Amino acid sequence: MTEPVEVSIDRRAIPYAVLVGLFTGSLVASNYLASKIFQADILGYKIFAPAAVLAYAATFLFTDIISEVYGKEASGKAVLIGFFTEIIVLFYNWFALKLPYAPFSPASPETYRVVVGSSGTVIAASLTAYIISQTHDVYAFHFWKKATRGKWLWLRNNASTMVSQFIDTVIFISLAFNIYPALVGGKVLPWNVIGNIIIGQYIVKWLIALGDTPFVYLGTYLVRHYLGLESSQIIGALPEQPTRTGEVRSGTLS
């Protein structure tokens, strides 16, 4: 009988696993936080936005760090992992709603259905907006990286994120709070409210995108320091090394 073989994890893959974990965690959290719409005054302008705005904006921070350190292919894999994670969560929601209620359940059927059930249309909208905006973010990031010959991380971070956030905001808000609820008989927000939410959410996301640039630099520095790279090195310049299953070679995940 063949003995089970333990596969060691190359230390260079550990930061990638951590970043993907933070990415998917923020992504899943945003689905449940999006049901709450908050109001705030920014520079005298009253805005409305989903409470998930910070959690979802953070996903672009993590993919930008992955893109900068591990490359386009690795960031694309992270986006796919997030996509399938969302599908699994959508199945969990459906399964939970189908289970019969116990009379002593802390949450009433109506309350539970409002929170978990509404997140079903939110997740469906999120999946649509997510795959489009995150794919754009990965390609835009590397377009600007190539155009600037690897210089000016702040430019590709902001240029890719701000456009991707706009794409995501328009698609997500329209689908989550109007189009998809209308298809399933849920609560539909009028288009004038939808427009206000889109503007408000994008303003908040734009400000967050500006504020996350130092964290992109910090995250990139910490990962490169852990990997033993100089700040001026790019992953593609790493020398070839022998690999085993699960290891990282020349800046790509095997």
pLDDT in tens, 188-213: 888 988 888 888 778 888 888 788 88
DSSP-assigned beta bridge partners for residue 248: 253
* pLDDT tens profile 123-145: 788 788 888 988 898 889 889 88
For residue 197, being part of any structural domain is answered with yes
Q: How confident is the model at residue 65 (pLDDT cuts 50, 70, 90)?
A: very high
- The pTM of this model reads 0.76
Task: Find the mean pLDDT for residues 113-120.
Answer: 68
Q: Is the separation of the CB atoms in 61 and 223 below 8 Å?
A: no
State the first-to-last Cα distance of the chain, in angstroms, to the nearest integer. 29
* Residue 171, phi then psi, degrees to nearest 5: -70, -50
Helix axes 53-70, 14-33, angle to 10 degrees: 160
Q: Token match 């719409």: residue?
A: 37
Question: Which residue would you say has higher pLDDT here, 53 or 25?
Answer: 25
Name residues whose C-beta falls within 8 Å of residue 197's C-beta, 6 or more positions apart in sequence. Answer: 37, 48, 49, 50, 173, 177, 189
Separation of alpha carbons 178 and 193, rounded Å: 10
For residue 191, being part of any structural domain is answered with yes
Q: How confident is the model at residue 243 (pLDDT cuts 50, 70, 90)?
A: very low
Report the pLDDT value the prediction gives residue 187, as an integer from 0 to 100: 77
Separation of alpha carbons 128 and 183, rounded Å: 15
Q: How confident is the model at residue 254 (pLDDT cuts 50, 70, 90)?
A: very low
Report the pLDDT value the prediction gives residue 119, as an integer from 0 to 100: 62
Question: What is residue 221's three-state secondary structure?
Answer: helix
* Residue 4, phi then psi, degrees to nearest 5: -65, 140
Of 168, 157, 162, 156, nearest to 131 (Cα)?
168
For residue 30, being part of any structural domain is answered with yes
Task: Find the mean pLDDT for residues 83-95.
Answer: 87
Report the pLDDT value the prediction gives residue 220, as an integer from 0 to 100: 92
Separation of alpha carbons 158 and 111, rounded Å: 39
How much of the chain is helix, strand and coil, in % rounded to 5? 70, 5, 25
Q: How confident is the model at residue 162 (pLDDT cuts 50, 70, 90)?
A: confident
Burial classification of residue 192, based on how many CB atoms lie within 10 Å of its CB (0-12 exposed, 13-18 middle, 19 or more buried): exposed
Domain region containing 197: 12-238
For residue 44, being part of any structural domain is answered with yes
For residue 4, being part of any structural domain is answered with no
Lookup: tokens for 234: 């790019």
For residue 20, being part of any structural domain is answered with yes
Total structural domains within the chain: 1
Would you say residue 75 has pLDDT above 80?
Answer: yes
* pLDDT tens profile 167-178: 988 998 899 888
Report the pLDDT value the prediction gives residue 23, as an integer from 0 to 100: 94
Q: How confident is the model at residue 237 (pLDDT cuts 50, 70, 90)?
A: very low
**What's the mean pLDDT when you consider all of the chain?**
80
Report the pLDDT value the prediction gives residue 21, as an integer from 0 to 100: 95
Would you say residue 81 has pLDDT above 90?
Answer: yes
For residue 246, being part of any structural domain is answered with no
For residue 109, being part of any structural domain is answered with yes
